[in-house]
Amino acid sequence: MSRSYLPGILAMAAIVVASNILVQFLLGDYLTWGALTYPLAFLVNDVMNRVYGPTAARRVVWAGFATGVACSLIGTQIVGEFGPLVTLRIAMGSGLAFLCAQMLDIVIFDRLRDQRWWKAPLASTMVGSTVDTALFFTVAFAATLTFLEPGNDVSWAGGSLPLLGWGFSAPLWVSMAVADWMVKLGLALLALAPFRILVRKLTQPVA
């Protein structure tokens, strides 16, 4: 492993660990604090892809995936008020969503890398974020996938409520997903500035 990949790997691992911790703390009615840190994984991925190429980005993603699996294994052993902090469905949804979304991000970014500088990170992050949100919340909470973990009662997430408190009726987990997705898209726009700065810093000639 090239030493040049190490900062990206450490950054991705730190984001995954922080997000797994912060997801335990609510932020309003539909979000957790982890929703603010997890999208930074796309920023790290895109910077690595731009500076070192898709192969390096994939290595960073695999490192993040391994870190996430480790966090999930630890979480299953910690029992809270309502049972293990990480259930099988949450672990499956988290791992599948992370790996699929981040790998898709790499493919889209690579296809657009010769376009204007902002197109690749913005498009890849928006598409990746959408896939990530859809996969995680569906696998973790959708009633149609109860067979994945019959002993895990997620009926609380299926209660029908107005979407985000004011829209049409939908299961609670759908409001959680939409809120999470909106945060991801907003952060995708905000991340363009640090993306530009980091890429310039990492690609400038060494004096």
Structural domains in the chain plus CATH codes: 3-132+187-203 (1.10.1760)
Say what the pLDDT of residue 11 is: 97
Tens of pLDDT, residues 14-59 = 999 999 999 989 999 999 999 999 999 999 999 999 999 999 999 9
pLDDT beneath 70, residues of the chain: 1-3, 79-83, 206-207
- Rounded Cα distance between 1 and 13, Å, is 16
What is the distance between the alpha carbons of residues 69 and 95, in angstroms, rounded to a whole number?
Answer: 7
- N residues, the chain: 207
Nearest-angstrom CA–CA distance, 113 and 168: 39
